[in-house]
Amino acid sequence: MAEKLDLNLDNINIGGEDNSQLVSNDSGTTPVSDRNNAVIDEDDIRITDKKAPIVMLFGPPTSGKSMTLVRLARYLRKQGYTVKADPTFKSDDAYRSRCEKFHKNLNTTEALKGNALNEFLMVKIFKHGSTVCQILEAPGEHYFNPDKPDEVSPRNFRPYMTEIIRKLPNRKIWVFITEAQWEVHSSIKDSYVSRIKGCKDQLLKPTDGVVILYNKVDQKDELFEDGNLHVLSAESAMRGEYEGLSALFRNRNPITSLWRRYNYRFVPFCTGYYTNQIGGTKKYNESEEHYPSHLWAELMKCFRG
């Protein structure tokens, strides 16, 4: 199994440059100026496609949202899909630069460095000229901040997230990311589950889809045998680590519950393997194809409803 490394891979440092544009404070973030002296508003987003489903990679900082996107995008390109960052999602120079360098980072063999909490990306997936879906990559702190675990109400989402979730007619696919062996106090995990419960109770619509992604599954050696992952055991491990999460999505229908106990799709996941190199850099080797293949298959089921 891969050696566990202390990497902050939740957000991608595009091109290795310092793209920090926001200053943290007690209330979240403060907009500052970009290189053209224009004030950057992190809530200034625009989504022109009101039909293609929106996949929201929902997880706290360092849970692996960005590297999940990287691994899935690499896989989809091999399958003949077109993967393109949407340059119209935000209007500031830093975002446009990030879009321009997104594909460069998809080809890298080095572990990408983390950066500040201003990472935004909207990636579109195309097939035969049509948009299959849109994938939102946003700062983990905007989904759940472990430093402020009491903020679990869906009413305290950032305005741009409220706009996307509450007002856009697009079907939403909620990919709730859980991390195998997340090294935090159990109360933090309980707060994260409460955050998800608030979303489920107030924000999820009947047409939305739910995926519970169990990331960094390679850290749990006991789930593997002869090179194969025991998926049912992985799901059981996730339920044990995130008490009450699966119960939120219990199927209450007396008929369909006979063959489908929960209204979520479970995906064990691994983004890849990270090894130290001479000079202090870390090399990235992508995970096996079955991880992104499984994730995409479950997302496609959600798209179809």
HSE of 128 in the Cβ direction (CA atoms, 13 Å)? Answer: 0
* Residue type at position 186: S
How far apart are alpha carbons 147 and 156 in whole angstroms? 15
pLDDT tens digit at each of 305 positions of the chain: 444 444 443 433 333 333 333 333 333 444 444 545 555 577 888 999 999 999 999 999 989 898 899 999 999 999 999 999 999 998 888 888 888 878 777 877 766 655 434 478 999 999 999 999 999 999 899 999 999 999 999 888 999 999 999 999 999 999 999 999 999 999 999 999 999 999 999 999 999 999 999 999 999 999 999 999 999 999 999 999 999 999 999 999 999 999 999 999 999 999 999 888 877 778 889 999 999 999 999 999 999 98
- Strands 224-225 and 228-229: what pairing? antiparallel
Residue corresponding to tokens 């809530």: 43
- Strands 28-31 and 22-25: what pairing? antiparallel
pTM: 0.84
